[in-house]
Amino acid sequence: MELSLAGRRALVTGAGKGIGRSTVQALHAAGAQVVAVSRTQADLDSLVRECPGVEPVCVDLGDWEATDRALGGVGPVDLLVNNAAVALLQPFLEVTKEACDTSFDVNLRAVIQVSQIVARGLIARGAPGSIVNVSSQASQRALTNHSVYCSTKGALDMLTKVMALELGPHQIRVNALNPTVVMTPMGQANWSDPQKAKTMLDRIPLGKFAEVENVVDTILFLLSDRSSMTTGSTVPVDGGFLAT
């Protein structure tokens, strides 16, 4: 399926590692011009070496003022992937103010801020666009010790719908992607215990976790005009987890 992403300018947050890094690599390979946002300079340096022409931006998206300075003049962006997120796991009775603030600042508030910057630019140019918010199956199912993380992702799903509602008249589509556990280096490390993995795999009809390319392929589809009639959706990439 030809996605026709060549010549488009895309911005990807959380671009240093995992899903974000693989998304940048795939967009670059498809001929898109990519702005890669990460808080870790070393990750950006190695990414630029791998993908010459990628534009690196190093900023902590949890800092509103720094983000405004870093991205306020980013220029025209056609496609946005809001991927940056933190997962601070605590039992409910031990949830801290710091975990709440950091999680909502990065997982929700930064999505609002970066999306505002991109959407205002699209509207000013009279250009159509596509925004993909990387959510999680945890937005729709309760997981032990994930009270804050589940809450941020549940909020992100609803934000996606309201953004789609308000930005649709400007021909800006907004969708969320809801993966299960993904076999990034972090996912492999966090789910390497066979007993822990079994408790989750037993709830997934396909009996396996997602590979990074499963997620990236869906992101690229949602960014492309091949999904031109899809907006306000939460798209599971979960092996059937949310069907159970």
Q: What is the pTM of this model?
A: 0.97
Across the chain, mean pLDDT equals: 97
- Output the pLDDT for position 69: 98
Tens digit of each residue's pLDDT (9 = 90 or more) over 79-96: 999 999 999 999 999 999
Q: How confident is the model at residue 45 (pLDDT cuts 50, 70, 90)?
A: very high
Segment 7-22 shows an average pLDDT of 97
* Residue 149 annotated as catalytic: yes
- Output the pLDDT for position 186: 84
Distance CA 35, CA 10 (A): 6
Is the pLDDT assigned to residue 189 strictly greater than 90? no
- Output the pLDDT for position 192: 87
Q: What is the SS3 assignment for 195?
A: helix
Segment 152-169 shows an average pLDDT of 98
Pick the catalytic residue: 97, 149, 196, 198?
149
CATH architecture of 9-236: 3-Layer(aba) Sandwich (3.40)
- Output the pLDDT for position 2: 86
E strand segments, the chain: 9-13, 33-38, 55-58, 79-82, 129-134, 172-179, 234-237
Domain range summary for the chain, segments of one domain joined by +: 9-236
Distance CA 133, CA 148 (A): 18
Segment 24-45 shows an average pLDDT of 98
Other Cβ atoms within 10 Å of 98 Cβ, number: 9
Tens digit of each residue's pLDDT (9 = 90 or more) over 16-34: 999 999 999 999 999 999 9
- Output the pLDDT for position 55: 98
Pick the catalytic residue: 17, 153, 198, 208?
153
* Both structure tokens of 218: 């869906």
Task: Return phi, psi of residue 126, to 5°.
Answer: 65, 30
Q: How confident is the model at residue 157 (pLDDT cuts 50, 70, 90)?
A: very high
Distances (CA, A) of 64 to 14, 38, 158, 216: 16, 14, 21, 27
Is the pLDDT assigned to residue 50 strictly greater than 90? yes
* Percent of the chain scoring above 90 in pLDDT: 95
